[in-house]
Amino acid sequence: MENDYENFLQEYNLFQANREILQNRIFDNFENEIELERLQRIFNEYQNLDVKIRLAFGIREIRLNNFFVSDKENDLKLCHLLYYKLADLWFAYETYIKFYTETVGASKNKIEWIDSIIHLNYAESIEISRSLELIQEKLNEIYSIQAKRELLIEYLDYSLENSISGQRRRLTEIIQKVENLQFNLTNNEILTIIYAVRNNFVHNGETTVVPEIFGYQNKVELLKILYPYLALFTLKISNLTFTRV
């Protein structure tokens, strides 16, 4: 599931190798108190990031106690699973922002930073740019169909009601693009949709069957596009930031 996009395993293996490299650097700087403290702070954030990423990737099945709720099957079961995986992976992504801040000494907006000029080396990396092309192709393939597009727009409108500030502005722009069959969404627009889905699930009572305007078959179709993108995206930006440790 995670490796639906190219070079996932390569980036994951590098992410794990970086952890060992950082541990070795801590050992090598044992007598340099200032550098040791800096590296230890970075390592703490990297370790938190590592744990959250592996937890998100590691969830393969959600087993239910049938005394409380009946088992889910097929797309309904997958939709339920992907909600939790996406939510956990977003928590990992937010931890990446902390890792970046500790490493670089500067904070950044967790959505719009990716397409800013000063971060072009992230957006223009082969893995992220190719992932963006793939997600654009998949969105076009599915939502160029009028009926599906109208359902997506209705769902984005629903998400808009629960958003504020920059998120609301970005969602409005995305809706306009989808209405005009423009599926060349940017990285920050993809992150905006992911953030909306995550917030709907975590904060706004969304489930596989709520809201009914966008049924679980439609939700799982969207989640199957968004989740693998966020998986590779989070690994790649983490590995790029690590080069600045």
Supply the mean pLDDT for the chain.
Answer: 96
pLDDT at 119 > cutoff 90? yes
pLDDT at 3 > cutoff 90? no
pLDDT given for residue 61 in this prediction = 92
| Token pair of 205 as six digits | 């009572």
Instruction: With H, G, I as helix, E, B as strand and everything else as coil, classify residue 215.
Output: coil
CB atoms within 10 A of CB 164: 7
Q: pLDDT by residue (tens digit) across 5-36? A: 889 999 999 999 999 999 999 999 999 999 99
CA 8 to chain centre: 14
**Cα separation values, 32 from 24, 26, 220, 243, Å:** 14, 9, 51, 21
Q: pLDDT by residue (tens digit) across 158-197? A: 999 989 999 999 999 999 999 999 999 999 999 999 999 9
- DSSP element (H, E) containing 63: none
The pLDDT of 94-104, averaged and rounded, is 97
Q: pLDDT by residue (tens digit) across 187-227? A: 999 999 999 999 999 999 999 999 999 999 999 999 999 99
What span, in angstroms and rounded, lies between the C-alpha atoms of 152 and 147?
9
What span, in angstroms and rounded, lies between the C-alpha atoms of 134 and 115?
17
CA neighbor of 173 nearest in space, from 161, 189, 184, 158:
189
Which range of residues forms the domain containing residue 233? Answer: 2-242
What span, in angstroms and rounded, lies between the C-alpha atoms of 25 and 120?
28
pLDDT given for residue 107 in this prediction = 85
pTM of this prediction exceeds 0.85 = yes
pLDDT given for residue 161 in this prediction = 93
What span, in angstroms and rounded, lies between the C-alpha atoms of 164 and 145?
29
Total tally of structural domains belonging to the chain: 1
